[in-house]
Homo-oligomer: A and B are copies of this chain.
Amino acid sequence: MGSLDSNINSAQNQSTIAKFNPLDPEEFRTQAHQMVDFIADYYKNIENYPVLSQVEPGYLRNRLPETAPYRPESFDTIMKDIQNHIVPGMTHWLSPNFFAFFPATVSSAAFVGEMLCTCFNSVGFNWLASPAVTELEMVVMDWLANMLKLPKSFMFSGTGGGVLQGTTSEAILCTLIAARDRKLETLGVHNIGKLVVYGSDQTHSTYTKACKLAGIFPCNIRAIPTSVESNFSLSPVVLRRVIEADMAAGLVPLFLCATVGTTSTTAVDPIGQLAEVANEHKIWLHVDAAYGGSACICPEFRHYLDGIERADSLSLSPHKWLLSYLDCCCMWVREPNVLVKALSTNPEYLRNKRSEYESVVDYKDWQIGTGRRFKSLRLWLVMRSYGIVNLQSHIRSDVRMAKMFEGFIKSDPRFEIVVPRRFSLVCFRFNPVKESEPAYIELLNKKLLDSINSTGRVYITHTIAGGIYMLRFAVGATLTEDRHVIAAWKLIKESADASLRRSYYYTTV
């Protein structure tokens, strides 16, 4: 009997094996349609979920088996598990009540663009491996450069060019390596320990990480202090002083990362003035405009990029504010050949006549990895589906809502704006009793933040800059409307009232 059973099992195995077709177009069609409806419903009902997930660490391991199943499971079973086990563990970044970090923005156009990118699954490491992948990316990078009024020196239609990276981290690492290798070519590689890099204490933490990855000595990474008095902007005067001290000590200035819209408080470094210092000392100037750069498609914000023609490279992440879904970081360089020289590889199995004789762009030489997806489709669909007019209006609408929230803060004397608002982030704090100790204010705000987020009704985060603990209210989730901002303010005010009642109770009992 045992052997009969195992014969049957074996026959069943055979039939499972014989039938296995992981890309049957009709099964694909059915499952993908089902998933579209799941997602559309999720977007429709997203407000019903607590924004910040309320699960405890380790929740999922306890709910799932220890090993992958030996036999297939049904699509319906899996979909049920997604609803029951995955959704509760999500912090819903697309909720209209998400005001944390910087929101990650999305759109129908980018979604279908991403579907198409996935569909083709082409690996565009060089031109030949998929001409459309390379050429559409070149077109899209020039389109966005045009929208930002970048100089021709950053465009393929001029003398530069752009590429899609995954994240700002990669953009910074690639440009830094290009700068490093150009400098070491004359200096000699054994002088790597002399190279110094500059940023402010507000520059994104990934900058320091990228510098360390690139072998810059940790002792040669300068994070120049900023202060609340200058809105956390990097001072060209201080920068010059630090550079001169380094040079006097026999060190070699290499790279400066300036920021348009820092992560903590959306501070803006003065590109033009910093470029003057950088150019003077032959320092590679990279401008990280991950968040703030998108606003510069509107004429009223474009001045934040003034002086960009004197920078060497620029990066901007449309997943932050241009509706493109993750991950999408645009990077432009003024001298592509310097980048390519530092990052190119030439294995035999990728050699082809197009790359050798026709000077096509091979994007593998513009990035860390070899393989790459057809990511430009998302941006292309966003730009065409909405047009510049709607993208500008999207930026303005977020800024308008942030202004509204700023007005609420200003209208309540128990609250204060800590840093003037520039884009769609409001940095504020609760400070009901003037002249309180900083430590007390910090504690008060920490408690307020906890009590707000624990409701699950909104999610906001905090930062510390210049030693000041503050709350960050970042408007920009794609589905956010006025009513969400108004409700958030109401919740913040109620939580503040409750915290005052509690503290009154404790001080009087």
Contacts and interface: CB of A to CB of B under 8 A. Distances in A.
B121 A325 contact: yes
Q: What is the oligomeric copy number? A: 2
Contacts of A107: 22-23
A179 interface: no
A462 to B, nearest CB: 7
Interface string A66-104: 111111110101100010011111111110000001001
A104 B371 CA distance: 10
A438 interface: no
Between A36, A69, A93, A146, the greatest number of chain B beta carbons within 10 A of the residue's beta carbon is seen for A36
B462 A108 contact: no
A385 interface: yes
Contact of A462 (B190, B349, B479): B349
A465 B349 CA distance: 10
Contacts of A25: 40-41, 43-44
Contacts of A29: 36-37, 40
Nearest to A54: B131
A498 interface: no
18 contacts: A13-B389, A17-B390, A20-B394, A22-B478, A23-B43, A29-B37, A31-B109, A57-B131, A61-B135, A70-B387, A73-B385, A86-B136, A89-B131, A94-B120, A190-B217, A263-B347, A264-B347, A349-B462
A462 B352 CA distance: 10
Given A127-B57, A135-B58, A82 B116 contact: yes
Q: How large is the interface on A (under 10, 10 to 19, 20 to 34, 35 or more residues)?
A: 35 or more
Contact of A213 (B52, B73, B146, B177): B177
A300 interface: no
B388 A70 contact: yes
A370 B325 contact: no
A24 B101 CA distance: 24
Contacts of A127: 57
A146 to B, nearest CB: 5
A214 B217 contact: no
Interface in A48-72: 52-53, 55, 57-61, 64, 66-72
Given A66-B157, A72-B384, A349-B462, 11 more contacts: A16-B393, A20-B386, A57-B358, A59-B131, A90-B130, A90-B132, A104-B371, A169-B369, A192-B215, A264-B348, A348-B462
A457 to B, nearest CB: 17
Contacts of A386: 20, 22, 72
Contacts of A349: 101, 263-264, 461-463, 472
Contact of A75 (B35, B41, B71, B385): B385
B132 A53 contact: yes
Contacts of A465: 348
Q: Lowest 9 A-B CB distances belong to which pairs?
A: A215-B215, A89-B132, A22-B107, A167-B369, A60-B135, A169-B369, A205-B345, A29-B40, A17-B393
A119 B193 contact: no
A39 B383 contact: no
Contacts of A215: 192, 214-216
A425 to B, nearest CB: 11
A356 interface: no
